Amino acid sequence: MIDLSIAQTKQGLKDKKFSAVELTQAYLDRIAATDEKLHSYITVTGDLALKKAKEIDKKGDYSGLLEGIPMNLKDVVCTAGIKTTACSKILENFVPPYNAHMYDRLLAAGSILLGKTNTDEFTMGSSSENSYFGVTHNPWNLEYVSGGSSGGPAASVSADQCAFSIGTDTGGSIRQPASLCGTVGLKVTYGRVPRHGCISYASSFDTIGPFTKTVEDAALVLQAIAGRSEKDATTPDMSVPDYSGFLKEDLKGVTLGVPKEYFAEGVEKEVSDSILEAIEVMKKLGAKIIEVSLPLTKYAIPTYYILVKSEGSTNMARYDGIKYGHTTDAAKELQEIYMKSRSEGFGDEVKRTIMLGTYALSAGYYDAFYLKAAKVRALMKKEFEEVFEKCDALITPTSPTPAFKIGEKTDDPLAMYMCDVLTTPINLAGICGMSVPAGFSSKGLPIGLQIIANQFKEDNLFHVGHAFEQATEWHKKKPALI
């Protein structure tokens, strides 16, 4: 039962084929049997999960949107009374006093928390190697990374350690690991899901979204968590459509744009070939395919890291060794507490973020770096707006390469940033994107297809993604883990 989609699981519960307790126990057994190899989970909340499952079975109607569905949360989503570490030493023992608002919505929908999953420290990274607790291995080949920053969520969905997971995406942190692990991963429009209670990296970029086994499941989870919240002023007062209504089987009347810059140098041939093949499938489903151009794509990475590291350095300023989290035991005065607590508590990539951001925001360099990047961001947003006048969605690869080996890029931060070359433009423009399984490399590693749509057009992602998924078998393949 652990390999079922959410939709199938809901049916199974309603038909009394299995109970929520049996289902939860099956996932916990799966975690116990596989997580030593994968290391997706930082914390497993087995007792709590079984208790909730019992209550749900007792009630017995399984009527909630996600009632009885076991899931996990990336360890940056605050859970009252349950450790939330951001996979950083500085928050190693942090137990939040309140829930993220989005988690409250998941609980109200009836889902069951199995635990908290691994990420690069404070979500800064593309491989989960920056986690203070160590890397998450790729379920398809344990010598390879699971991607990042949401490596734990991606691997846990791919390996059936949960029915779905919630991750965050600032520059690709949902889509890239989804692509590398062969799951569906949805990056919503900025502001579609409230960020309250989610530990911040870059506040004008961060989004929250699901990892699932099917596109239909992604639509279901989004239905439960989307919409305005008074606890997050950046969520617009816009209605949430019934996403299930957009899961169609064909693409008649749909125009899809293929931006040539997303197939440029640096994108491996195996990857672009898989995506071109997928485009042929979409053509057969009735879609009209047009070539489009987004010439500013090559500036996305520097624009992204200047802005994100600037916002990141500002957000990291709250970790002072005083209010919460790690504090040094070797300080005599206040300055020393800041300096030592932060130096002891943060890992290398967080330190690089803080210094790069501090530099880009400092008086002499603000105009040349931060302001310049903020202007290029405005141009990139405009460029996407113009392209979406001509088409309903864009089709591109998600990641330029399949998963890479653990340790391959850890000494070269710029090479690591380049992993996000095809995903950061979407965050810069605040639009939405989704990675869907679309093939395998010759080494047997998954390849993901990225569907991109305009702001608040998640319905287009679900339409295109579902139709493609129904016409292909990629999402049905499972890693041979045990």
Q: Residue 40 catalytic? A: no
- Residue 389: φ, ψ to 5°: -75, -20
110, 172, 185, 325: which one binds other proteins (CB under 8 A) = 325
Smallest gap from residue 72 Cβ to other proteins (A): 24
* Residue 348 CB contacts under 8 Å (≥ 6 apart), including other chains: 130
111 is catalytic: no
Binding of other proteins at residue 306 (CB under 8 A)?
Answer: yes
CA distance 456 to 450: 16
Write the binding mask 182 to 211 for other proteins: x where contact by CB under 8 A, - elsewhere: -------xxx------------x-------
- Among 19, 40, 52, 74, which one carries the catalytic annotation? 74
3-state helix, strand, coil in the chain (%, to 5): 45, 15, 40
CA distances from 196 to 49, 98, 106, 201, 203 (A): 23, 10, 14, 13, 11
What is the rounded CA–CA span in Å between residue 423 and residue 176? Answer: 8
What residues contact 419, with CB distance under 8 A and at least 6 apart? 126, 127, 147, 172, 176, 399, 400, 401, 409
For position 89 contacting other proteins by CB under 8 A, the verdict is no
Report the residue from 376, 391, 434, 445 that binds other proteins according to the rule CB under 8 A. Answer: 376
Binders in 222-241 for other proteins, by CB under 8 A: 230, 233-234, 236
Q: Does the annotation count 149 as an active-site position?
A: yes
Closest CB to other proteins among 231 and 288?
231
Which residue stretch of 66-74, 274-282, 375-383, 445-453 sits at the interface with other proteins (rule: CB under 8 A)? Answer: 375-383
The type of residue at 88 is S
Q: Please tell me whether residue 303 binds other proteins under the rule CB under 8 A.
A: yes
Residue 296 within binding range of other proteins, rule CB under 8 A: yes
Alpha-carbon Rg for the chain, nearest whole angstrom, is 21
Q: In this structure, what token pair is assigned to residue 224?
A: 């439960």
The pairing of beta strand 164-169 with beta strand 446-453: unpaired
Binding marks (x or -) toward other proteins, 239..278, rule CB under 8 A?
A: ----------------------------------------
CB of 455 to other proteins, least distance (A): 6
Q: Is 352 in the site for other proteins (CB under 8 A)?
A: yes
Among 73, 106, 220, 373, contact with other proteins (rule: CB under 8 A): 373
Q: Burial code of 11-41, b = ≥16 C-beta within 10 A, e = fewer?
A: ebbeeeebbbbebbbebbebbeebbeebbbb
Among residues 455, 463, 465, 479, the one that binds other proteins under rule CB under 8 A: 455
Q: Are residues 447 and 180 in contact, defined by beta-carbon separation less than 8 angstroms?
A: no
Give the single-character DSSP code of 203. Answer: T
Q: Can you state the angle between helices 372-387 and 300-316, rounded to 10 degrees?
A: 120
Pick between residue 275 and residue 301 the one whose CB is nearest to other proteins: 301
* Active-site hit among 111, 127, 149, 150: 149
Among 54, 248, 381, 477, binds other proteins (CB under 8 A): 381
Our finding on whether 338 is near other proteins (CB under 8 A) is: yes
| Per-residue mark of binding to other proteins, 404-423 (x: CB under 8 A) | ---------xx--x------
CB of 85 to other proteins, least distance (A): 14
Least distance from C-beta 381 to other proteins, angstroms? 6
Amino acid at residue number 481: L
Question: Measured in whole angstroms, how far is the alpha carbon of residue 167 from the centre of its chain?
Answer: 4
Q: Is 429 in the site for other proteins (CB under 8 A)?
A: yes
Of 163, 301, 449, 467, the one binding other proteins by CB under 8 A: 301
343 binds other proteins (CB under 8 A): yes
Among 126, 52, 123, which Cα is nearest to 91's?
123
Alpha helical stretches, state H, 287-401: 300-316, 334-345, 348-361, 372-387
Does 91 help bind other proteins (rule: CB under 8 A)?
A: no
Q: Which of 126, 128, 146, 173 is the catalytic position? A: 173
The DSSP bridge pattern shows strands 164-169 and 70-74 to be parallel
Residues contributing to the site for other proteins (CB under 8 A):
94, 97-98, 189-191, 204, 230, 233-234, 236, 296, 299, 301-303, 305-306, 313, 317, 320-327, 331-340, 342-343, 346, 351-352, 354-356, 358-359, 362, 369, 371-379, 381, 413-414, 417, 429-430, 455
Residues classed as catalytic: 74, 149, 173
